[in-house]
Structure 1
């Protein structure tokens, strides 16, 4: 196995020692060999479902077993050839240097029934056109214009809090993030529509948290099942609400300064616009991902801060020194160094998007190992972000590890909460702005205290939600 960092490359990134052993090791459950610079393992599955049952029974434990099995690990999944990559260099090959040899995996494409053919799942020239047209809406200057609205939403939400009140801080952060994305994406005049969208998406998320559909995919086609009826109704509601918003905006012709106005005005190189269907797909995925990522980052941050009172103290001291009692702004982002570090460290330990999947579009070699066309390739941020080769004391919550430029020194493929390469999340900069400014706004006046003994279990669904919410007692600073 690799035995730790051995220096840096010409860009200053951490590099690894190569394994000195070539021996093969085996157990009743796993096997492991060396393939040049990387260890190759296999997790055997003994039932018709391969490794799927073990994954379903205890996802976190199963991910630990995969990580211990090697840098490239073969799994046995029903009806498909699956490999998991853990070494940063292998992940970089798939996401960056050889990205044209891959498309999104089957699991991701399964989301089409919810998000249509939006940026998350579209491929090829259609994806490139959509990305090209949407990109101006996410330029730095445009994103920074929304900072005041983000902070104002945080102040409104916390104005109703009371000393000693016990709340589900995850539910509170979901409501807050939904208001922010409704304001920035759809304008503040569609609050009721945002509530309808949020409620429909909750039904959708429940479907993807239900492992019965992974074991028995045919269940999704049984229209009479109550869960399927609820899912169909939620999907129909999503379509109706978003189509209504787009129709009203097209008729009014008003530029409200939100992201939807930018998307409506976008023109491709040939002068063409997005169709209503394309707009609907992009709005749906931006609404879903836009509030989910930030809400989860903040929810898990409060859980982790509850374990380290010293981190709470440092966060409060920085916010007081930088803001001096005034509202935060985009201009403060470069000075809220520790606040940003708290978010980065939270997304290391509890990445909102905990996995990324690809499918080999052609026969391709990764790290010297041949992958046949159609191979499903999984990369788990949950595991990679806890790799001791890149992150000493990997299970410890240490925001200070980011303060000396670690983000720039890490090898590509070591830390990827927003993905990587050409398919990097288009809203990553907005998500970071939102999370940092909301955390600073809340920390100015409040300390949601999560008891160290009250740590929720992660729920491995589309995103990494805290199962059962996050119980916190509000303490005024």
Structure 2
């Protein structure tokens, strides 16, 4: 049986140095040179096999929970931060949690959050001024934090001190978690024969403790109150399994933290990349604005407008193709798995990169071009099912995918209707593959108010 080829690993370090210097470039290079099933060594104790064939990606994602597991519980940082929430849990426990959480993401329920999304985006844009320079990454990160705080807890970051504390705690946690998860120093120290404290880990643990205390206090208050606020927390508190049991406080904590991390930074980064790409492609920006004028006629968008904002939706799809917020995901085979003609052993990591697959020329003509027009119904019908998967797939498809798409589209329509956004130094904008795919150092922009808006 053929074995997989790959770049030669260094003693002890494996391929960590090459991967750490440029993760995205490394993935592109090794998959181009060695093809589907390339073997690399980036973890201390197991090999990683990178799969790039859509049919094999489909086999992995569709069989997650049976032939494959996520395996995220083996990672101490993910256990610390995310606990046993929907992203990290497995088996029957995950299935029960998914069943309990699913009603909160029903289409009608999600549409009811659209008003808050537009209201907060409009408030942000009204605070901007013509000619102003700002870090757009920070601005939209704060916006998506406002939206997720409102939709989860029914509190406004502007007016509720508790929400402000939650916001600060989440930001501290995100920063510390991202640093630890992508730290080359941590990866090297994990290879040492003795355990040493990792720089920055104490800060992460303190941030987790602070956020836990805030969330559990809000949960206790809401349980005592017993009133439906129309938010996700109310839905989670009311959810009951077939035997009548609901979520414990620990389960609520894990799901709420997961929602904050998955529903906050990912959408913010997608929006940041959207405005960057529009700034570099004035013809796309002009076509987008023409659609907004024709459909909205100067008013704010609503969820009911989404069906008519065709080109706006194509822009969002194309951004998620070129800059997928989740640029890497992995699974663990429970038994030896034959991938084409390569035998992949049980217990290794099977890695899948939307970044790599979304840029394959065989699926996307001129793959590096920002071309929203490519997303016609005919094009999508001819695309292999798992050549495009910004939200994962199979039974572990992101539960908030419809929420994220609606949020990105409504915020884009709201902000682009008021401002044209220019990037003074586009050559300095490079992707930083941290927990999610963000512009390194943020995105400095200059705002240009549209003449027809007040």
> Any residues of structure 2 matched to 1:243-282 within 5 Å, and which?
243-282=216-255
- Counterpart in the other structure of 1:75: 40
> Any residues of structure 2 matched to 1:164-175 within 5 Å, and which?
164-175=131-142
> Any residues of structure 2 matched to 1:101-120 within 5 Å, and which?
101-106=67-72, 109-110=75-76, 111-120=78-87
Corresponding position: 1:198 with 2:198:
no
Distance in 1 (alpha carbons) for counterparts of 2:93 and 2:309: 38
Distance in 2 (alpha carbons) for counterparts of 1:126 and 1:406: 38
Instruction: Mark the runs of 5 or more structure 1 residues left unpaired by the alignment.
Output: 1-33
Q: 1:52 aligns with which of 16, 31, 41?
A: 16
Shift of 1:349: 0.9
Q: What do residues 227-286 of structure 1 show as CA deviations (whole Å, max 9, x unaligned)?
A: 122112111112111111111111111110001100010001111100000000000000
Distance in 2 (alpha carbons) for counterparts of 1:385 and 1:117: 30
SS at match of 2:326: coil
Corresponding position: 1:215 with 2:188:
yes
| Kept in 1: contact 2:67–2:334 (CA 8 A) | yes
> Any residues of structure 2 matched to 1:77-96 within 5 Å, and which?
77=42, 78-96=44-62
SS at match of 2:387: coil
Corresponding position: 1:339 with 2:305:
no
- Counterpart in the other structure of 2:418: 445
> Any residues of structure 2 matched to 1:15-34 within 5 Å, and which?
none
Moved more, 225-234 or 296-305: 225-234
Corresponding position: 1:232 with 2:205:
yes
Shift of 1:146: 0.7
> Any residues of structure 2 matched to 1:299-378 within 5 Å, and which?
299-378=272-351
- Counterpart in the other structure of 1:64: 28
Corresponding position: 1:180 with 2:147:
yes
Evaluate the alpha carbon distance shift between residue 375 and residue 456 of structure 1 in structure 2; reply closer, same or farther with a 3 A threshold: same
| Kept in 2: contact 1:359–1:374 (CA 8 A) | yes
Q: 2:360 aligns with which of 382, 387, 403?
A: 387
Evaluate the alpha carbon distance shift between residue 372 and residue 392 of structure 1 in structure 2; reply closer, same or farther with a 3 A threshold: same
Distance in 2 (alpha carbons) for counterparts of 1:288 and 1:143: 18
Distance in 2 (alpha carbons) for counterparts of 1:106 and 1:154: 34
Distance in 1 (alpha carbons) for counterparts of 2:241 and 2:155: 28
Q: TM-score, normalised by structure 1?
A: 0.88
Distance in 2 (alpha carbons) for counterparts of 1:371 and 1:60: 23
Distance in 2 (alpha carbons) for counterparts of 1:438 and 1:90: 35
Distance in 2 (alpha carbons) for counterparts of 1:263 and 1:374: 34
Moved more, 349-358 or 65-74: 65-74
SS at match of 2:244: coil
Distance in 2 (alpha carbons) for counterparts of 1:297 and 1:113: 26
| Kept in 2: contact 1:40–1:70 (CA 8 A) | no
Q: What do residues 424-454 of structure 1 show as CA deviations (whole Å, max 9, x unaligned)?
A: 0000000000000000000111112123634
SS at match of 1:313: helix
Evaluate the alpha carbon distance shift between residue 283 and residue 204 of structure 1 in structure 2; reply closer, same or farther with a 3 A threshold: same
Evaluate the alpha carbon distance shift between residue 444 and residue 456 of structure 1 in structure 2; reply closer, same or farther with a 3 A threshold: same
Shift of 1:369: 2.8
| Kept in 1: contact 2:73–2:79 (CA 8 A) | no
SS at match of 1:334: helix
Distance in 2 (alpha carbons) for counterparts of 1:188 and 1:451: 36
Distance in 2 (alpha carbons) for counterparts of 1:98 and 1:115: 19
Corresponding position: 1:157 with 2:87:
no
Distance in 2 (alpha carbons) for counterparts of 1:397 and 1:245: 43
Higher strand fraction (1 or 2): 1
- Counterpart in the other structure of 1:11: none
Shift of 1:107: 8.2
| Kept in 2: contact 1:74–1:83 (CA 8 A) | yes
Q: TM-score, normalised by structure 2?
A: 0.92
Distance in 2 (alpha carbons) for counterparts of 1:104 and 1:431: 22
Moved more, 467-476 or 203-212: 203-212
- Counterpart in the other structure of 1:19: none
Evaluate the alpha carbon distance shift between residue 99 and residue 236 of structure 1 in structure 2; reply closer, same or farther with a 3 A threshold: closer
Q: What do residues 90-114 of structure 1 show as CA deviations (whole Å, max 9, x unaligned)?
A: 1011001575111114588441110
Moved more, 299-308 or 95-104: 95-104
Q: 1:144 aligns with which of 108, 111, 123?
A: 111
| Kept in 1: contact 2:170–2:211 (CA 8 A) | no
Shift of 1:206: 2.4
SS at match of 1:418: coil
Aligned residues: 440
Instruction: Mark the runs of 5 or more structure 2 residues left unpaired by the alignment.
Output: 157-161
Distance in 2 (alpha carbons) for counterparts of 1:221 and 1:262: 42
| Kept in 1: contact 2:152–2:231 (CA 8 A) | yes
Shift of 1:51: 1.1
Shift of 1:203: 2.4
